[in-house]
Copies of this chain bind each other. A is one copy, B any other.
Amino acid sequence: MAELTHLDASGTARMVDVGDKAITQREAVATALVCMQPETFSLLRQGGHAKGDVLTVARIAGIQAAKKCADLIPLCHPLMLNSVDVDFLLDAEANAVRITARCSLSGKTGVEMEALTAASVAALTIYDMCKAVDRGMVIRELGLAEKLGGKSGHWRREQGPD
């Protein structure tokens, strides 16, 4: 039967011991949406440099957050990421920024949490930089899109979360 691996038989929280896991190439992709008012979206997408700056700040925040994942998520293992990418797509129909964060590792444990943390902090940074004009922005559909490597192999979300 399925069980929560972060709880032992007595229900106590624990870090999974990865000592016996093989070192494999692992990758994970997480996505999220930052939804805003049409006016906010216009401000964000207009003019090259300003937009570039908001998204560059958010990208850097996401990359740095991925590196801090084990410090933020209590039962995550420290690990040495091979790469972190954070990309943005301005979705004019949805008045939303679509965030894709991708992490890779040669290691014993998956990088799902690193990718999710990167997407989450990138989204919060966009919120922070635009909140003076739109306090009601909402971060939606933050989830894992795909993972590769490790014992469980390839997994892909059957349909996007939105």
Which chain B positions have C-beta within 8 A of A13? 53-54, 56-57, 59-60, 129
B43 near A61 (CB under 8 angstroms)?
Answer: no
Interface residues of A in 90-122 (CB under 8 A from B): 104, 106-108, 112-113, 116-117, 120-121
Q: Which residue of B lies closest to A139 (CB)?
A: B142
How many of A's residues come within 8 Å of B, CB to CB? 88
Among the listed B5, B71, B107, B131, which residue makes an inter-chain contact with A132, where contact means beta carbons less than 8 Å apart? B5
Which chain B positions have C-beta within 8 A of A75? 57, 63, 125, 128-129
Which chain B positions have C-beta within 8 A of A127? 113, 116
Interface residues of A in 108-162 (CB under 8 A from B): 108, 112-113, 116-117, 120-121, 123-125, 127-133, 135-144, 147, 155, 157, 161
Which chain B positions have C-beta within 8 A of A120? 120-121, 124, 139
Q: Which residue of B lies closest to A7 (CB)?
A: B50
One complex includes copies of this chain to the number of: 6
Which chain B positions have C-beta within 8 A of A71? 64, 67-68
Q: Which residue of B lies closest to A160 (CB)?
A: B138
Question: What's the least CB distance linking A42 to chain B, in Å?
Answer: 10
A-B contact pairs, 8 of them (CB 8 A): A12-B53, A13-B59, A17-B82, A19-B106, A63-B74, A82-B108, A135-B147, A136-B157
